[in-house]
Amino acid sequence: MEERQRLKRQDPDRTGPIRNWSTVFRNPESQEASDSGERTGPTESRSGGGFSDSVTGTVKLAYRVVDENIRLGQRVAQQINDRTYDLGTMRSDFHDVTERTLRSLTDLAALWLQMLGSLIGVARPAGPSEPEHTGHRGAAASVDVDSTQPVRIRLDLQPRARDAGLTVYALHALDPASPPLTDVGLEPVKEDSGVHIRLRVPPAQPPGQYSAVVVDATGNPCGTLAVRVGEPAGEPASTS
């Protein structure tokens, strides 16, 4: 009788999974499973396709629901941006939320612009680490401020922003109790292609950070204006 040899397992090609994202998420065709002879998918059902079709069919409706929800949100946002609502007829809680929405959009706008600029290859607007891009294409901005409290102003504009037609609406604070700064404007300065900021801060204005989006003549955002009123804790007063 032939003596039986002890069998040994072969070493596998590898002993662990591949975790690399770029390797793993390849084309679906290359992940086709070994053929088991089973025909499966949306049409497979012992009851003639009803089960699978109803399951997969509702997915399409589910996607529509999500899309509809997003579009509804965008319509509301657009209405807010266009100021087509009548505040007087809104419930007070909706009013408050709307106000906060505006402020948050303002806060996000600067970062959003940076991101958009990166994506389309446009040079980023100035951050604190890039002082050479501060202000309007490197030109100084003149400021006319009427305030009894210390004020610090920061204006960030896209390099492509045009001098004419720049508009800023009311500057809002995060605290809903603080009234907005409404007496503010931007004017072009023809002599040096700069911009002139005009701002009046009422004497009783609560200290804090106020901000607004700067739009151009076509209504597109092209920068932000931020104003700090009063002394922040631990910092000396200054005007800039």
Interface with other proteins in residues 16-35 (CB under 8 A): 16-21, 23-25, 28-34
Considering beta carbons, is residue 15 or 240 the nearer one to other proteins? 15
CB of 111 to other proteins, least distance (A): 5
Pick the binder of other proteins from 53, 87, 112, 217 (CB under 8 A). 112
Q: Which amino acid is at 227?
A: V
- Among 80, 229, 99, 220, smallest CA distance to 157 is for 220
Q: Give the nearer residue to other proteins in terms of CB position, either 32 or 132.
A: 32
Binding to other proteins (CB under 8 A) within 62-101 occurs at: 62-66, 68-70, 72-77, 80, 94, 97-98, 100-101
Distances (CA, A) of 71 to 61, 67, 75, 140: 15, 6, 6, 41
Smallest distance from other proteins to CB 38, Å? 6
**Three-state DSSP class for residue 151:** strand
171 by Cβ neighbours in 10 Å (0-12 / 13-18 / 19+) ranks as: buried
Which of 82, 85, 87, 108 binds other proteins (CB under 8 A)? It is: 108
Residue 65 C-beta-side C-alpha neighbours within 13 Å: 5
Subset of 128-187 contacting other proteins (CB under 8 A): 174
